[in-house]
Amino acid sequence: MSAVIIDGFKIASDVRHLVAEKTAALVKSGVYPCLAVVLVGENPASVSYVTGKEKALAEVGMKDRSIRLPESTTETELLKIIEELNEDSSVHGILVQLPLPKHIDENKVIMAIKPEKDVDGFHPINVGNLVIGRKSFLPCTPHGIIVLLKIMGIKTDGAHAVVVGRSNIVGKPVSLLLARRETNATVTICHTGTKDLASITRQADILVAAVGKPKVITADMVKAGAAVIDVGVNRIPDDTKKSGFSLVGDVDFENVKEIASYITPVPKGVGPMTIAMLMQNVLEAATQWQS
């Protein structure tokens, strides 16, 4: 039997709807949630992500302070802008779109954002709080994955979750969230040093692919009945599209869906959840301001 296709688009739209309601109430109380999105350069994928975030801000009724900077922006200039945004009390969240041009040290930039405005959840203080289970801004994509699992009623308690990828923005944090007591999965993290990847992924009740390589997870790597979460967003050439490319995930969707119990599509799976959870974090950041 074919897997249930998880409608991340619909679930994200429900989350955004709730955020919009709470935003309206906050605005009434005199706090107008505002996110500053900083984009350096014109990387097409980054431009498209930033545009999506701006659209979502408008939709949930939040203020959008977009700052688009040329590729030639220096690290010092960028750090100065962040400092100004840190001090600006009308800005509740700051997001610097990654990756940054090579001449700018990403770590320095992440460290420069005030932890209480770090709605991406990438600052070491927020990461540390996540590790020790204290309240913090959760990184949006990993948090979105946990919400998808929850809303779909996919049992995590006692499940074996295998995460392929150990990046700071997806693989590591989603592994930590899956292993939290309230989620209670047993987690295995795989990476390029993993021997016989397929033998491990085949043990997964929940398989999270955050690899960044098109269709690297094939049907023979998936256990029958597994829930498969595809984080990958890969552009592959496609002459039939006006843009000249198609988006595909890290999972061979067509074949894996015949084996899995649940699967997220690409696009309209994990991607929209990332933006919805970002809106939720901005709301949280602005709510802190109220008290």
- Binding positions for ligand NAP, rule: CB under 6 A: 141, 164-167, 169-171, 190-194, 197, 210-213, 216, 231-234, 270-271, 274
Closest contact distance (angstroms) between CB of 216 and ligand NAP is 6
Least distance CB 233 / ligand NAP (angstroms): 4
Given the residues 120, 205, 250, 252, select the one marked as catalytic.
120
- Any catalytic annotation for residue 97? yes
> In 3D, which of 93, 31, 66, 53 has the Cα closest to residue 290?
31
- Residue 131 beta carbon to ligand NAP: minimum distance, rounded to whole angstroms: 18
Strand partners, 189: 163
Residues 6+ away with beta carbon under 8 Å from 202: 221, 222, 223
Diameter of the chain measured on Cα atoms:
56
The strand pair at 206-209 and 262-263 is best described as unpaired
DSSP bridge partners of 251: 217
User: Annotated catalytic, 203?
Assistant: no
Cβ closest to ligand NAP, residue 150 vs residue 155:
150
Name which of 127 and 190 has its Cβ closer to ligand NAP. 190
Q: Which member of 7, 22, 53, 257 is catalytic?
A: 53
DSSP assignment of 47-67 equals HHHHHHHHHHHHHHT-EEEEE
Across the chain, the runs of DSSP E, i.e. the strands, are 4-5, 34-40, 63-69, 93-96, 160-164, 186-190, 206-209, 227-230, 234-237, 245-248, 262-263
Using an 8 Å Cβ cutoff, are 46 and 99 in contact? yes
Query: What b-and-e string marks burial along 101-119, b requiring 16 or more CB atoms within 10 Å of the CB?
Result: beebebeebbbbbbbbbbb
- Which of 97, 118, 205, 257 is flagged as catalytic? 97
Cα separation, 190 vs 234, in Å, equals 19
Nearer to ligand NAP, 171 or 265 (CB): 171
CB of 265 to ligand NAP, least distance (A): 11
* Closest separation in Å from C-beta 83 to ligand NAP: 27
Question: Is 120 one of the annotated active-site residues of the chain?
Answer: yes
Active site residues: 53, 97, 120
